[in-house]
């Protein structure tokens, strides 16, 4: 599967820098963040496309007040989203900026009007936010556009994940990426459950990845080791910008370190192999093999006194020691020589 020109069937992990609300209500900051994401090693930048009015009601009744020990407690949902949204009139410039930098750019639409709006930019994928996974009609509408679907599983039950996969497939869209995600901000390490990543891939026959809200860079590296082909992480130019997502976003230095560590993890993974490479073969000089430990005359019996398994590894493999002992030397053999099969009978 490809996201734009990025081949997810290759060895590289797609690393997505999530802009989210980390623009400080400044389009110049947003564009500077995109440029910084490129320098930090990201493959893609992701926006969010909504307004407070497309997400919720301007209502201060109890149901609409954030609570529960979050970063945003006591704000109304409308206040939170009005502060955090990316203005729609910025999108053209942000998509253009990403293209100039050679970054993939796509977005999370939060309603059908956002999908319709984003279509003009020919995005290489759509992202389903973890809290929107239960909006089946929105998922269906996105899938109907025949673009790859990156879906955060966040709050979803297993049945709901099964449902959205079927919804996409019924729209003849099987280009599905499921992201393990813990919808806590920030997410505790013990709640990451990264072993879900290989299970998602196996259970649903899809590409799996990780949308990370933990602090630091350990979780993404571990996710890649477990088979994640997509990593999504919130990215901020400088935490001093503040905003709704700043506290659990990586700044330029940390994001760069994460990318470097992920690329190293990819190299470490390699592929299943039992064929020794050149360096391993060279290293076998320090393994053991059979050598002549004492001068042996022609016809003399080979024994543990005159044949030993020692370093280096240029002689006969130690597996033959039982075949060798008790045999007779065909010729005179000298101390320190390698033992060969043709040396005894």
If asked whether residues 171 and 244 sit together in one domain, one would say: yes
Specify the higher pLDDT residue, 272 or 65.
65
- The structural domain count of the chain equals 2
At residue 279, does pLDDT exceed 70? Answer: no
Does 137 share its domain with 18? yes
Spatial contact of 125 and 176, defined as CB atoms under 8 Å apart: no
Identify the band that residue 283 occupies on the pLDDT scale cut at 50, 70 and 90: low
Q: Kind of pairing, strands 230-234 and 44-49?
A: unpaired
322: in domain: yes
Q: Clarify whether residues 192 and 94 are in a common domain.
A: yes
The verdict on 21 and 92 lying in the same domain is yes
> Does residue 213 belong to any structural domain of this protein?
yes
The distance of Cα 262 from the centroid of its chain, to the nearest Å, equals 7
pLDDT confidence of residue 116: 98
- State which residues form the domain around 37: 7-50+85-269
* Angstrom distance (rounded) from CA 323 to CA 321: 5
Q: Which of 219, 243, 269 corresponds to the end of one domain?
A: 269
Query: Are 152 and 291 found together in one domain?
Result: no
What is the per-residue pLDDT for 274? 78
- Shared domain for 212 and 313, answered yes or no, is no
Predicted TM-score (pTM) of the model is: 0.87
Same domain assignment for residues 151 and 295:
no
Cβ 180 vs Cβ 197: under 8 Å: yes
Place of tokens 């009601």: 57
Whose CA is closest to 265, among 203, 220, 210?
Answer: 220
In a domain, 181, yes or no: yes
The answer to whether position 195 is within a domain reads yes
Q: How much of the chain, in percent, has pLDDT values that exceed 90? A: 86
Q: Is the pLDDT of residue 284 over 80?
A: no
Q: Is pLDDT of 245 > 90?
A: no
> Please, what is the average pLDDT of the chain?
94
Asked whether residue 145 falls in the same domain as residue 41, the answer is yes
pLDDT of residue 246: 87
Domain end: 269, 288, 322, which one?
269
Asked, for residue 306, whether it belongs to a domain, the answer is: yes
272 — pLDDT class (breaks 50, 70, 90): confident
Asked if the structure places residue 292 within a domain, the reply is yes
Residue 164: which CATH number?
3.20.20.70
pLDDT in tens, 181-227: 987 788 899 999 999 999 999 999 999 999 999 999 999 999 999 99
The runs of H, that is alpha helices, within 180-272 are: 196-204, 218-225, 252-269
Of 134, 193, 192, nearest in space to 164 by CA: 134
CATH number for the domain harbouring residue 331: 3.90.1210.10
Lowest mean pLDDT of 4-8, 183-187, 295-299, 339-343, name the range: 183-187
Q: Is the peptide bond before 40 cis (omega within 30 degrees of 0)?
A: no
Q: How confident is the model over 16-65, as pLDDT tens digits?
A: 999 999 999 999 999 999 999 999 999 999 999 999 999 999 999 999 99
Is position 294 within any domain? yes
For residues 309 and 69, the model is more confident at 309
**pLDDT tens across 70-94, in order?**
777 889 999 999 989 999 999 999 9
Query: Would you say residue 288 lies in a domain?
Result: yes
Q: What pLDDT sits at residue 143?
A: 98
294 and 242 share one domain? no
Q: Is the pLDDT of residue 277 over 70?
A: no
Query: Are 286 and 261 contained in the same domain?
Result: no
Residue 158 has pLDDT above 90, yes or no: yes
What pLDDT does 271 receive? 83
pLDDT value at residue 226? 97
Confidence of residue 286 (pLDDT cuts 50, 70, 90): confident
> How far is 252 from 296, CA to CA, in rounded Å?
69
For CA atoms 89, 91, 94, 96, the dihedral sign is: negative
How large is the average pLDDT for residues 101-117?
A: 98
Q: Give, for 280, the enclosing helix (H) or strand (E).
A: helix 278-283
Answer yes or no: is pLDDT of 115 > 70: yes
Q: For residue 281, what pLDDT is reported?
A: 64
* 246, 269, 292 - which closes a domain: 269
- 103 and 223 together in one domain: yes
Residue 257 and residue 121 share a domain: yes
- CA 290 to mean position of chain CA atoms: 46
């Amino acid at each position: 599967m490809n996201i734009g020109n990025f081949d997810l069937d290759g060895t590289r992990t797609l690393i997505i820098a999530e802009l989210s609300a980390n623009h400080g209500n400044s389009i110049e900051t947003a564009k500077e963040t995109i440029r910084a994401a490129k320098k930090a090693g990201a493959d893609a930048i992701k926006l969010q496309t909504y307004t407070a009015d497309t997400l919720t009601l301007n209502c201060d009744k109890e149901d609409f007040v954030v609570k529960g020990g979050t970063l945003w407690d006591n704000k109304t949902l409308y206040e939170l989203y009005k502060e955090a949204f990316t203005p729609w009139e910025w999108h053209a410039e942000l998509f253009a900026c990403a293209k100039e930098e050679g970054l993939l750019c796509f977005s999370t639409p939060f309603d059908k009007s956002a999908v319709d709006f984003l279509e003009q930019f020919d995005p290489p994928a759509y992202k389903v936010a973890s809290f929107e996974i239960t909006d089946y009609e929105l998922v269906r509408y996105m899938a109907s556009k025949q673009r790859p679907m990156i879906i955060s599983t966040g709050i979803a039950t297993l049945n709901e994940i099964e449902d959205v996969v079927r919804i996409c497939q019924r729209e003849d869209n099987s280009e599905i990426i499921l992201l393990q995600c813990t919808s806590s901000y920030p997410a505790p390490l013990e709640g990451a459950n990264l072993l879900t990543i290989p299970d998602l891939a196996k259970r649903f026959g899809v590409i799996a990845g990780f949308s990370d809200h933990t602090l630091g860079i350990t979780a993404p590296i571990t996710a890649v080791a477990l088979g994640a082909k997509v990593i999504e992480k919130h990215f901020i130019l400088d935490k001093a910008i503040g905003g709704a997502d700043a506290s659990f976003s990586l700044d330029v230095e940390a994001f760069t370190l994460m990318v470097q560590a992920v690329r190293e993890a990819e190299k470490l993974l390699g592929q299943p192999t039992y064929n020794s490479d050149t360096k391993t073969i060279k290293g076998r000089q320090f393994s053991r093999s059979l050598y002549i430990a004492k001068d042996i005359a022609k016809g003399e019996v080979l024994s543990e006194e005159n044949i030993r398994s020692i370093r280096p590894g240029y002689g006969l493999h130690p597996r033959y020691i039982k075949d060798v002992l008790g045999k007779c030397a065909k010729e005179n053999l000298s101390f320190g020589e390698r033992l060969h099969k043709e040396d005894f009978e």
